[in-house]
Chain A
């Protein structure tokens, strides 16, 4: 058999550097092949060994995360995580970043991020039932930033609305550290019968390799490499590496795949995501321990004259690769033709343990699969610990404006203002199962069609805490996701993590990563809340400046009866009770940043034992039917939490003045593990809390149209609403 035509050795080494391989990594390529690679082979090695596909800097740390629980069916390593949720069903979910493409081309970058994560979920046999997202933008005054915000929101909506999967929740932060690297993390949750999960390991020598979906074009070539490098001033020139999405084809692909999955024809299936045909074929054959041979002449092509290199590296969207049982091709093809999609047999499995690529009568690549994986670079990069910040003493920080003025400013500030302008552009009701829509509760709640059962879901992270103390920040991100699920009454089950950090070759960045993982692992263990899937996005730096460390957490929980879910909107005539200790922690609080103009101090620590105790108590109260509304206390502290409940219901409250600490520390401190409950009568709840060893206190009573804080201090809920609702529309009005 002939060998692929090798590149000129000097040119190959130079190209390997352009493709992102380090010198010693390229030496390994030479050792594995025993010769100079062809262009296609060099392309395959460089994308498979890119940070994006190989997790070479992060894997040693990710391995330390807890991934097991009795309800975990498939943890990390598959296309998405799979957990049992009762009634014989499984929830399949994952969050994934599309940061770099979204900066270069916001609409398509965000849209294809949604498309990609949907495919990761339905490729395992699930019907997607909900989308969420976690977004981080720079200062709106930064160059292009409003356009980026607008494009990202339109892109997420444009894709999700068209495929008909409701976008039910998410989170947004703004910080100048994201000026050059906004973050777009998209999450999909799907449902499948627990005994009908489809995996990606290829099997059956001779079985056909089938390509379905859209045709392959020249878009997105080397996207995975682009996503593994820092940006410099030439980011705009990278636009051709961004893929173009077609949500209509994705919708057809969902229906066709689910129809095929109802039969017994599929052996294995995987979507073509980053590094397209290369990663799907290499990973499927590699996992199955078989060889694979592809005839690229059979690949459906959008453009004429495409080379093997271009086809193997293309990241054209809405494509899947499957291994079918032999002799079932015609039956399977009929389903895809019905949905007007391409279907092509492009190869077969072999017993050689090699990937062989043929095109136009020549062999373009011939690589042993085992070393491509086992010899892949793996780094334990040097780490430097983030220096500890001092704990701020609240009594030394003066209140410059007063409580109600600070509240009005805070509820209108970028990180706390209403996200209505965003979610009004996302279809949140399609499917007819959305119990809690965006803004209505701490977590979105989606009922399972035809059943009482519902799923709660949320995305969370507080990057300013993570910068100040990555370990506490990692812990807090997991705890807050757990808390948000608890606050609607759900039993938290598992998380997906999306680790967004700067350049891992810098010890301080790798130190942030390692510490965040430590904190997350501690929280996952203490809360029985394992990691089942995830994604890492590194090199989020522009001109040497890194983003805030952002380990975004997507959490999923279950409600046996979706009707038991509670929202956060306040009704009149209820007692307000705060669960958890209020100590007035102002370090890294939004009050400190927005009102005192200081971003400093240690962030609030998370007491995981108290977190668990408080949350289990709150959930029991909600499921016991005594709670009318519940809201966790997060960004902005206690008074912001109460104000959000008041604005949600259009109802005021009279609150009791605190004692023993400065009022601004009491109302705006961000102590963790707290919830505000609205109940008919505080008495029984306080007694139950005391019996359970849970800290609880009556805060006041709802009613009227104002928030009243003792004598002479009050503000109308209507005034707060105007401040809360006008920020984003005013900001984005100029964009049109």
Chain B
């Protein structure tokens, strides 16, 4: 699997992502600066990592969505390419129109840095193949604007088409308000595109891929991608 990690000015979790990808694939991903106007030949997966692109000034992800490389990423996705956006990357995907909805300020109006639990709502995607439907896993979250919002129509479509990939839950897998720390609509932590190739989520599975850092709960996302893309 040839993975490309895009670096915008202010991106800060690109090295975490590179470590997780290398752990799953055995090879270092390509780090691509946002000013580039082409993806490397043979790219299988584009990752937009976390951080504060352009300082989160204006709106989170709004300026990065206009970067030169994003036109290429959009074209790649339109041709059925796999694109993963985590945290700020999810915000950029929404701002670029590659995923629906928006990430609002956390309901508490505070930055939230803590482990959260998520339930896998849609197994069998390239991103979730190594989890059972309904499996619960843990990952750190670290964001000020992770409160997923969409209008009623979009929400109805996400649910009807089964495009909600992850929901915030208790460690036992129950969807509660208390487990939904940032106030996301319908506890939504992550979603996928209708072709299941574009995925965005707020928490950081890439930061929980090593027992030394507290566990390997996040690793199945990356091993899923390796298997799915090898088979593709």
Contact = CB atoms under 8 A, between A and B. Distances in A.
Interface in A404-430: 423-430
Given A433-B213, A449-B19, A423 B113 contact: yes
B23 to A, nearest CB: 10
Contacts of A700: none
Given A162-B55, A247-B55, A562 B113 contact: no
A24 B147 CA distance: 61
A580 B110 CA distance: 42
Contact of A248 (B9, B15, B212): B9
Contacts of B113: 157, 161, 423-429
A443 B123 CA distance: 39
17 contacts: A157-B113, A161-B113, A162-B12, A162-B52, A163-B12, A248-B57, A251-B9, A338-B33, A425-B110, A426-B111, A429-B113, A430-B50, A432-B207, A432-B210, A435-B213, A563-B212, A736-B109
Interface string A238-254: 00000000111101100
A429 B140 contact: yes
Contacts of B51: 164
Which of A164, A424, A426, A433 neighbours the largest number of chain B CB atoms within 10 Å of its CB?
A: A164
Given A248-B52, A429-B140, 14 more contacts: A161-B144, A164-B12, A164-B51, A247-B52, A251-B12, A251-B52, A252-B10, A425-B110, A425-B112, A430-B142, A432-B19, A434-B213, A447-B213, A562-B212
A168 B153 CA distance: 42
Given A424-B113, A736-B109, A430 B55 contact: no
A260 to B, nearest CB: 16
A246 B111 CA distance: 17
Given A248-B54, A251-B52, A430 B109 contact: no
A430 B19 CA distance: 12
Interface size class of B (residues with CB under 8 A): 20 to 34
Contacts of A154: 110-111
B204 interface: yes
Interface size class of A (residues with CB under 8 A): 35 or more
B112 A424 contact: yes
Nearest to B144: A161
A431 interface: yes
A432 B16 contact: yes
Contacts of A424: 110, 112-114
A505 interface: no
Interface in B1-48: 9-10, 12-13, 15-16, 19-20, 33, 35
Given A248-B52, A432-B16, A449-B15, A161 B111 contact: yes
A161 B52 CA distance: 9
Given A425-B111, A427-B113, A432 B56 contact: no
Interface in B187-221: 204, 206-207, 209-210, 212-214
A19 interface: no
Interface of B: 9-10, 12-13, 15-16, 19-20, 33, 35, 50-52, 54-57, 109-114, 140, 142, 144, 204, 206-207, 209-210, 212-214
Given A162-B55, A339-B9, A447 B19 contact: no
A562 B210 CA distance: 12
A197 B113 CA distance: 33
A246 B20 contact: no
A239 to B, nearest CB: 23
A351 interface: no
Nearest to B57: A248
Contact of B142 (A249, A429, A449): A429
A554 B13 CA distance: 26
A340 interface: yes
A447 B16 CA distance: 13
Contacts of B204: 429
B12 A430 contact: yes
A433 B206 CA distance: 11
Nearest to A452: B212
A432 B9 contact: no
Contacts of B144: 161
B33 to A, nearest CB: 8
Contacts of B209: 432
A435 B142 contact: no
Contacts of A433: 213
Contacts of A164: 12-13, 51-52
A154 B144 CA distance: 11
Nearest to A158: B111
**Lowest 8 CB-CB distances: which A-B pairs, in order?**
A164-B12, A248-B55, A432-B16, A427-B142, A162-B52, A429-B140, A429-B207, A427-B113
Nearest to A252: B9
